[in-house]
Structure 1
């Protein structure tokens, strides 16, 4: 079972690869659903693909926008330019885009979750059209996924297992377009579903009344976040080929932690299922340390409590301080000598420690400092020195 992680930028691509992803998915400008999430230029994409391939990992290119007539020629040029970089797959939603990619390349074609594939007949139809993988609609249960895999065993099946969910059908929403002129189906969603809504009585203009759907509150569209870690072993047993982490507008820290946790979980399930059950509470605890809304297993267990009515805010317990690269720490948020911190490893393990000393590095100059600030490059002495590892995250409890 492949672990597929998000790569909104070149840095995130490298972090996903370094923290255990088997493959990453990346968007290019104009034709992905990640327009506000950072996208790759052709030059950046080449660097990313070369890096991933040097580590034996795959890169899938997201071109899952729904095309308009005036965009078709530019889409063809984009496909041609990206194909020369030798990616491992194109992710499309538009059936016309599928036809264009098939006619112009031999690169495998994956059908995006935006295509809303929910049944065996549709999977077979896409197979006949030349697709090699289906990213199933998020509205399916474990039972339905198993039925599809059994009926079409030679079609690769991909399932989302972690991240934000949309209140609309497989993410195909127009609410943001109407309210803000930002198209959700081009990655510019304003997340209007997370806002707090009121009604106004016809004869009392300006007087707002809260929409009380029930006793919880007024966030009537606000979805919880998906976390399928509790069901990962069942997805493995079904024979799901790839599990996908959602990552639109997510941080390097989020990519690192979620990737490392799911990597460790898959390894445990593959090698020792009982160990996965024993380690599960610890793995879930790590996922609780990234910014998220309350977790749900979504539709996988036919759950109905998918909405979160209290607030649209995220749960944030930890602050990302620094990323370890090439023997030094790249600082992202301030920290000081004496701070109690945690070091998170790409293995999915973490240790608690304390900062004893900070040395700032600027060229050949070394300066001892009391506080590190964003964009500093530093070396750190801890009370418990971390084990040798090329890939680490520094964080602290908020």
Structure 2
């Protein structure tokens, strides 16, 4: 994947202390990887009131364990309670919020004013951060929420750098913004496609990702169509399911041939790695990565790269240089083509995906380093995906570990040679070419 173009923000700039790097954590294991690989804070979902009902999500006991783990690294844990509640959703919310407070959660991310007000009253130790679901885009709206007592606003993804600068100029409040991950093809917090097509409420955690579906397109039917419709199109129409609403006697013209790719409405993913100076200097307080449903490999890779870029800039802003290897790493975790969202301009047709997505080079999370013996160069690897002698692999970690090698002999815990590591979470021993550390990851190119 080629590097993206380099637009430059020319508006007013603010210099900040190091911004927070906020990472997604779909379950307890992902939380630990996110923190270990450099996140200053993580956001998770509980069993209720969040928008990712299909994620593993956390029990209160898991939250407590996650908070304790994060605290060892000086990191915080936030919980998404960002549904738009119906009457039946409100029952039990006070008890739920108090339980979050008791678990040591630092803040909730909320959109519904009812949940916000209940939290302020019932769990005052919880900070309340305004969710991106509120589509907050201007400084007067931000000021409204500051006046309501909120210390942080998560801006809508449609906010530009110039608009963020105006917000920082007018309102003294923490600004959180998405800087990497999936974009919604609808307006932030306003999509009802899922509700309409599947009766799954996107604003109560049930989004079915309608914009990523493959669609057929039909030209509006015309009464006189029969005189100019080709025989091929007529046969295709008869074979295809009728679009709704279908008018009897009116020819519906399919716009796709059988060999054509179906239409989707999916947006390219956001990536602002190449624009770290602009993000910092415009005044964004928290850099948010999307992806509670993403893999451990995705979370660790993306967090690790942004951690390096942020730290490098803050160490020497005047001589900061974007490293090509950071872009290569991001591409190894990318699910879709990348762009800069709304930060510099309004996305157009080139920023959407109309054909089957061209995946970046896909890698599997193959193993996790559990132990390393400096004298022998042997590592104990916990298997996460099938690998075998002869496979080319990569090791990477949060402390700068990165090297490639070919897998040699692998053996079980009793020293018996194995033809492959094929069992989930199996512990195997193998010689590594360079030193590794606990929690370094091993990956391999798929296929």
TM-score by length of 2: 0.82
User: Is contact 2:268-2:336 (8 Å) kept?
Assistant: yes
User: Which residue in the other structure is 1:351 paired with?
Assistant: 403
Deviations 1:166-201 (Å, cap 9, x if unpaired)?
101114311122222222223332211112211356
User: Which residue in the other structure is 2:443 paired with?
Assistant: 395
1:222-237 to structure 2, matched below 5 A, reads 222-237=266-281
Say whether residues 1:296 and 2:346 are aligned partners. no
Q: Distance in 2 between matches of 1:186 and 1:350?
A: 41
Higher strand proportion, which one?
Answer: 1
User: Which residue in the other structure is 1:339 paired with?
Assistant: 391
- The 1:13–1:210 alpha-carbon spacing in structure 2 relative to 1, beyond 3 Å, is farther
User: Which residue in the other structure is 2:63 paired with?
Assistant: 45
User: Is contact 2:109-2:129 (8 Å) kept?
Assistant: yes
User: Is contact 2:309-2:322 (8 Å) kept?
Assistant: no
**Runs of 5+ in structure 2 lacking a partner?**
1-18, 227-236, 242-252, 373-379
- The correspondence for 1:25, drawn from 33, 36, 43, is 43
User: Which residue in the other structure is 1:126 paired with?
Assistant: 145
Shift of 1:73: 2.3
Shift of 1:147: 1.1
Q: Distance in 1 between matches of 2:371 and 2:165?
A: 43
SS of equivalent to 1:277: coil
- The correspondence for 2:131, drawn from 105, 112, 115, is 112
User: Which residue in the other structure is 1:261 paired with?
Assistant: 305
- The 1:347–1:79 alpha-carbon spacing in structure 2 relative to 1, beyond 3 Å, is same
User: Which residue in the other structure is 1:63 paired with?
Assistant: 81
Deviations 1:229-272 (Å, cap 9, x if unpaired)?
11221111112110010013100100100010000010011012
Q: Distance in 1 between matches of 2:120 and 2:211?
A: 36
Shift of 1:206: 4.2
**Runs of 5+ in structure 1 lacking a partner?**
none
Deviates most, 144-153 or 108-117: 144-153
SS of equivalent to 2:326: helix
- The correspondence for 2:326, drawn from 283, 291, 295, is 283
User: Which residue in the other structure is 1:207 paired with?
Assistant: 240
User: Is contact 2:23-2:290 (8 Å) kept?
Assistant: yes
SS of equivalent to 2:42: strand
Deviates most, 375-384 or 130-139: 375-384
Q: Distance in 1 between matches of 2:309 and 2:322?
A: 11
Deviations 1:304-350 (Å, cap 9, x if unpaired)?
23212222464342222112245532212100012111111113552
SS of equivalent to 1:198: coil
Shift of 1:303: 4.1
Q: Distance in 1 between matches of 2:412 and 2:425?
A: 7
Shift of 1:219: 2.9
Say whether residues 1:384 and 2:433 are aligned partners. yes
User: Which residue in the other structure is 2:232 paired with?
Assistant: none
User: Which residue in the other structure is 2:11 paired with?
Assistant: none
User: Is contact 1:333-1:373 (8 Å) kept?
Assistant: yes
User: Which residue in the other structure is 1:367 paired with?
Assistant: 416
Deviations 1:13-61 (Å, cap 9, x if unpaired)?
0000100000000110121111112200111111111111122110011
Deviations 1:70-91 (Å, cap 9, x if unpaired)?
2212222211111111211111
User: Is contact 1:210-1:218 (8 Å) kept?
Assistant: no
User: Is contact 1:110-1:135 (8 Å) kept?
Assistant: yes
Count of residues in Structure 1 that have an aligned counterpart in Structure 2? 389
User: Which residue in the other structure is 2:351 paired with?
Assistant: 306
User: Is contact 1:61-1:89 (8 Å) kept?
Assistant: yes
